[in-house]
């Protein structure tokens, strides 16, 4: 069953998503060469608390951290620990918070200090793929239209989309129907309707699409060791243009798609 949000739901979900967005921005600003991923996660925990929210991840299926911090060939669900972030690393931060009973879910990948031209291109293509997907999130379209927009853009740029992890509906719970794959899956072809709130989240590998889970039971890495990037927004389907709930700014014109 797909939950359609009412204006009343949105009165709480908009602030929840705004908090997630603000927290992610603070985490990103904290990242610099020399900090450990544990320090990043502890900082995130403090920021989430200061906003009067709590982590949507901590304890979810026994997940042990407040955020997901995935470095270089790590795709998603990276666990915070002793790892020191180095100049040239790329780090994906996924932040989900619960606030006023609703969840906001958003992620982005950034370079630590700076990175290679190819790593920057991977991040740019993944971010643009997210906006291509969002641009297809129109009422009357189907989930497959979002999936196709993302997959087509990524593959045209020589990268690949992860199959095993997908976007999702989000609201009072983190993973609601429908699933929103980053590749065309004919089984996921639900009609998009106003009131649906979707976490659209391309995970893009520089090399092959296959991934594996490390022995820690969480960290997802590329099988071929290639770099991976991840961008995510929580988006509301409206009667018109999609509303990016985890974006307090307007869509940057650089990223706007026609
Ligand atoms: N935030 C992830 C997503 O975007 C899910 C994290 S699951 C957790 O869907 F267990 F790691 F928290
Ligand atoms: Co997320
Ligand atoms: Co998500």
Q: What is the pLDDT of residues 192-206, one digit of tens each?
A: 999 999 999 999 999
Give residue for tokens 């129907």.
177
Residue bearing the CA closest to ligand 1, atom 9: 167
pLDDT of residue 257: 56
Closest atom of ligand 1 relative to the 232 alpha carbon:
4
User: Is the pLDDT assigned to residue 250 strictly greater than 70?
Assistant: no
Residue bearing the CA closest to ligand 1, atom 8: 57
SS3 annotation, 20-69: HHHHHHHHHHHCCCCCEHHHHHHHHHHHHHHCCCEECCCCHHHCCCCCEE
User: Is the pLDDT assigned to residue 133 strictly greater than 60?
Assistant: yes
Please report, rounded to a whole number, the percentage of residues in the chain having pLDDT higher than 90: 95
In order of start, what are the domains of the chain with their CATH numbers? 7-244 (3.90.230.10)
User: Is the pLDDT assigned to residue 214 strictly greater than 80?
Assistant: yes
Residue bearing the CA closest to ligand 1, atom 6: 57
Q: pLDDT tens digits, residue range 143-160? A: 999 999 999 999 999 999
Closest atom of ligand 1 relative to the 56 alpha carbon:
12
The most distant pair of C-alpha atoms in the chain lies apart, rounded to whole Å, by 48
Task: Using DSSP, state whether 237 is helix, strand or coil.
Answer: coil
**CA neighbor of 175 nearest in space, from 56, 58, 80, 77:** 56
pLDDT of residue 218: 98
Q: Which residues are near ligand 1 (CB < 6 Å)? A: 57, 60-61, 63, 68, 77, 94, 96, 105, 168, 199, 201, 232
Query: Separation of 198 CA from ligand 3 center, angstroms?
Result: 9
pLDDT range class, residue 40, cuts 50, 70, 90: very high
Please report, rounded to a whole number, the percentage of residues in the chain having pLDDT higher than 70: 96
Q: pLDDT tens digits, residue range 85-112? A: 999 999 999 999 999 999 999 999 999 9
Closest atom of ligand 1 relative to the 168 alpha carbon:
9
Residue bearing the CA closest to ligand 1, atom 2: 94
Structure token digits, residue 60: 């979810």
Question: Which of 23, 94, 218 best tests ligand 1's pocket when mutated (most atoms within 8 Å of CB)?
Answer: 94
Closest atom of ligand 1 relative to the 61 alpha carbon:
10
Give residue for tokens 């379209």.
141
pLDDT range class, residue 256, cuts 50, 70, 90: low
Mean pLDDT throughout 222-240? 98
Query: Separation of 79 CA from ligand 2 center, angstroms?
Result: 14
User: Is the pLDDT assigned to residue 251 strictly greater than 90?
Assistant: no
User: Is the pLDDT assigned to residue 209 strictly greater than 60?
Assistant: yes
User: Is the pLDDT assigned to residue 56 strictly greater than 60?
Assistant: yes
Pick the ligand that lies closest to the CA of residue 107. 2
User: Is the pLDDT assigned to residue 164 strictly greater than 80?
Assistant: yes
Determine contact, residues 231/202, Cβ cutoff 8 Å. yes
Instruction: Give me the chain's average pLDDT, please.
Output: 96
Mean pLDDT throughout 9-21? 98
User: Is the pLDDT assigned to residue 253 strictly greater than 90?
Assistant: no
Mean pLDDT throughout 172-196? 98
Question: CB burial class (10 A; 0-12, 13-18, 19+) of residue 155?
Answer: middle
Closest atom of ligand 1 relative to the 60 alpha carbon:
10
Query: Separation of 209 CA from ligand 2 center, angstroms?
Result: 19
């Amino acid at each position: 069953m797909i939950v359609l949000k009412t204006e009343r739901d949105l009165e709480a979900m908009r602030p929840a998503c705004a908090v997630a967005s603000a927290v992610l921005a603070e985490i990103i600003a904290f990242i610099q060469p020399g900090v450990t991923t544990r320090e990043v996660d502890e900082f995130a925990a403090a920021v989430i608390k200061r906003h009067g929210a709590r982590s949507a991840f901590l304890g979810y299926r026994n997940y042990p951290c407040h955020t997901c911090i995935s470095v270089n060939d790590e795709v998603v669900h990276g666990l915070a620990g002793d790892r020191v972030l180095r100049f040239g690393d790329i780090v994906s931060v996924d932040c989900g918070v619960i606030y006023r009973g609703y969840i906001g879910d958003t992620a982005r990948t950034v370079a630590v200090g700076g990175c290679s031209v190819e790593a920057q291109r991977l991040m740019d293509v993944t971010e643009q793929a997210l906006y291509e997907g969002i641009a297809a999130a129109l009422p009357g379209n189907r989930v497959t239209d979002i999936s196709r927009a993302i997959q087509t853009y990524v593959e045209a740029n020589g990268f690949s989309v992860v199959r095993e992890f997908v976007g999702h509906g989000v609201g009072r719970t983190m993973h609601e129907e429908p699933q929103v794959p980053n590749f065309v899956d004919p089984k996921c072809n639900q009609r998009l309707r106003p009131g649906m709130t979707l976490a659209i989240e391309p995970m893009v590998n520089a090399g092959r699409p296959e991934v594996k889970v490390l022995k820690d039971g969480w960290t997802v890495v590329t099988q071929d060791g290639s770099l991976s990037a991840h961008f995510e927004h929580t988006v509301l389907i409206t009667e018109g243009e999609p509303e990016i709930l985890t974006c307090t700014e307007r869509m940057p014109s650089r990223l706007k798609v026609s």
